[in-house]
Structure 1
Amino acid sequence: MNDGLLRFWMIYDFIYQHLTRIEYVDKENGNIFRVVFCKYRGPKLVTHDGVEINNGDPIVKLHIYNYKLTKMLKGIDNDIKLGLTALKIVKNSLPGLARYVEQHPKGENVKAIIGTTILHRGVSKLGFDVEYVPNKLRYKIKNKYLIFLLSLIHPDGRKRIKRRQEELTLKRVYISKEHLLNLYFHSKQLEEQV
C-alpha cells in the first residue's frame, strides 16, 4: 500500500473512532479487534451450541481494526500466506477479546459476538458460525468498501480481486459469548494454572 494513502487512512480511522462508540480491545498489545456493545438488529440467529440471538438482544458488534491489519499484512504477496497470516492474527487476538468481554461492565448480559467480514474463510475452525448477510444496501456498500481495502493490501491489487471476486462475499460471523469464553478465556486460565 502507498505510504501516503496509509497515512491518510490513519487520520480517517482516528476520526472515525472518535465519532463512534467503538472501543479498542487492547490497542497497545496488537489486538486487531474493536467492539461496540449494542442491541442486535436482524433476523434470528442460532449458534451451533444452541444459543438463540433475537432482535433486540444485547451483543458485542465486532470490528476488525482494518488499519492495523493492513499494516501487519503489508508486503505479503502470496494469497495462501496472506490468508493464513490474517487467520493467525485473528486467532491470536481472540483470547484478548474474550477477556475484554468477560471483564467489561456491559459484558454480563451479552448473548453473542457478531461481525460482518469478507475474511471469513477458516473462522469456523475458530468457533464461529458463518452465514450470508441480508440482501440490503448497507451490506452491499460495506462489501465494496472491504474489497477496496483488500485491493490496497495486496500487491496485485485489483487484478487479484477480479480473479477471486466470487469468494469475496460479505458474511456474518457470530459466536455465543459462552462459547467464546470457553474456548479463549476459561481454557487460557486453566493453562496458566497448570
Structure 2
Amino acid sequence: MSTLLWVLLLLLLVYSILPTILIRLFGIGVYKKGRGGNGIALTFDDGPDPEYTPQLLDLLKKHQVKATFFVLGSKAEQHPELIRRIHLEGHLIGVHNYVHWANAFLPPRKVRAQLNSSIAVIEKITGETPIFYRPPWGIFNLFDFLLMKRFRVVLWSLMVGDWRSSGGKERIIKKLLAKLSSNDIIVLHDSGQTFGADEDAPVHMLEALADFLDICKRRGFTFLRIDTYTQIDELAKRQPASWVKKGLIQVWLRWDRLFHWWFNIRPIDLHHPIFYSRVCKYKGKPLQLDNGEEIRSGDLVLELHFNNERLFHMMAESNSMVQLAVHMIREVQRFLPVLTAYLYMHREVRGVYGVTMIHRGSRQLGFTVEQLPEGLFKKASQLYLRLLLYVFHPNGRERLEASKSQLSPRIVAISVQELMKRYPVEPSMTAAETRSFAVQG
C-alpha cells in the first residue's frame, strides 16, 4: 500500500472515524434517548418527498401524533408547501444538511455552508430558526464538536432499516416491536431517493407505521416532538435530589431486579412492562368480591406488581397523589385488555390481585378494594410502600407528611371472569402483540 494511501486513511481516521465512534458509543454532545416519562419520539429523515410525505402527514394527523422531521435544505427549497404543512400541523422541523452528503467527506466550511443554506430556506418558509440537527448517516467529523454549541444534535436509539424494501412491512413492524422501549427515539425515512435506499421503501414504512401507531396507542405510549422530550429531561435534571437519594433509587431498582429474578416475577408484556406478575397460590382470609365471587386460600391467582421504574417516572411528573392516581388509572385502563389476553393462556387462574396505596378509582374499573387485615403483613406493607414513596418521589418527605391519611395500603382484586367480561380481547390485537408475552406461559 502506497504512503499516500496510508496518509489518507490516517487522516480519515482522525477526521471522521474516531469522532463518529466517540459520539455514537458514548453520546458525547448528542441526544440519543429520552430519560423521563413514557414517550416515544418519531423522527423522519431525508424528506420532504412530494409522494410520501403527504401520506405520512395524513397518517400522523389521523392518529393525532406529533413528530420531528430532519429535512434536506435542497428538498425543502423544491417543496416549500410541504415544509409549510409540516410546520402548520404542529411538527418540529430540524436540519439534515442541504444535500445528503456525509460529513466525513466535507470540510468544515462546506458543512457550515450546508447548514446555513438549509436554515435560510426553512426560516423563509416557516419564520422559525431550526436548532435541531442530525447529520446524514449519523457520521461526524472532528470539527462537528464545534457545532454542538449552536445546535442540539439528535441521533436515535432505534433504527429498523426501513430504507430497504426487502421483507416489506412485516420486517419493519417486527423489528420495531422487538426493540421498542419507553423513551426511544425512532428514526424512519419518508424518502427513498438517497444513496443506498430503495425508491419504494417508504411504501412499506408507511404500512408498518400505521399498524405500529395502533399498537402503541393500545399500549399507552405517547408521541413527543424532540423539543418536548428535551424540555422534560431538563426539568427532571432541575428537580431537587441529593446524591444520597439518587443512590437509594439506584439501589432500590437493582433490588427490584433481584427480587423479580428470585421469585420468578416477569412482565406481562415484554415490550411494554407496566406490570410484573407471577402465578401463585393465594394465602390469606377469603376475599369476597363485589360481583359475588370469592377467592379462597389455595386458589391460583395472578399477583400483580407495578413496574417501580415506571412508577418512579410517573411520580416525578405528578404534582399530587391525586394526579399520580389519575395517571395510573389511565395506564391500567390501556393495559387490562392485554391482561385478559394473557389470562386466556392461564385458564387455571381464578383471580388477579395486588397490594397498593394508590387505589383511587379502582372500583370504577371493576376491582374490589379491601382493607388489609390487621397484623404484621399490613404494618410491613405500609412501611414498604411509604418508603417507596419517600425514595422515588422528588418531594417524598413532603408527600408523606401531606398525605398520611391517604397512604393506607389496600388489597385490590378482580376475578378472571369479571375481567374477561369487562375487558374482552380486542379483535384488532395482532399476532405480534400476543407473541410479546406468550413466551412466558
Same-fold call, TM cutoff 0.5: yes
Shift of 1:147: 1.2
Partner of 1:173: 412
Partner of 2:261: 18
1:97 maps to which of 339, 345, 357: 339
Shift of 1:18: 1.0
1:140 maps to which of 368, 379, 387: 379
With normalisation by structure 1, the TM-score equals 0.86
Task: Report the residue type matching 1:9 in the other structure.
Answer: W
Partner of 1:88: 330
CA distance in 2, matches of 1:158, 1:59: 34
1:125 correspondence with 2:364: yes
1:164 maps to which of 381, 399, 403: 403
With over 3 angstroms needed to count, the CA separation of the structure-2 counterparts of 1:47 and 1:68, relative to structure 1, is same
1:67 correspondence with 2:306: no
1:34 maps to which of 258, 270, 276: 276
Shift of 1:3: 4.1
Bigger radius of gyration: 2
Shift of 1:76: 2.4
Paired residues, what number? 186
Task: Report the residue type matching 2:289 in the other structure.
Answer: T
With over 3 angstroms needed to count, the CA separation of the structure-2 counterparts of 1:119 and 1:78, relative to structure 1, is closer
With normalisation by structure 2, the TM-score equals 0.40
Q: In terms of mean alpha carbon deviation, does 91-100 or 118-127 score higher? A: 91-100
Shift of 1:177: 0.3
Shift of 1:133: 0.9
Gaps (5+ residues) in structure 2? 1-240, 430-441
Kept in 2, the 8 Å contact 1:102–1:181? The answer is no
CA distance in 1, matches of 2:377, 2:289: 24
CA distance in 1, matches of 2:255, 2:329: 25
Higher relative contact order (CA 8 A, sep 6+): 1
CA distance in 2, matches of 1:163, 1:73: 15
| SS of 1:85 mapped into structure 2 | helix
Q: In terms of mean alpha carbon deviation, does 125-134 or 89-98 score higher? A: 89-98
Gaps (5+ residues) in structure 1? none
1:52 maps to which of 279, 294, 314: 294
User: 1:137-161, CA deviations, whole angstroms, 9 ceiling, x for partnerless residues?
Assistant: 1221121111111223333311221
Kept in 1, the 8 Å contact 2:267–2:277? The answer is yes
Identity, % of aligned positions: 31
Q: CA RMSD in A?
A: 2.0
Partner of 2:252: 9
Shift of 1:73: 3.3
Partner of 2:422: 183
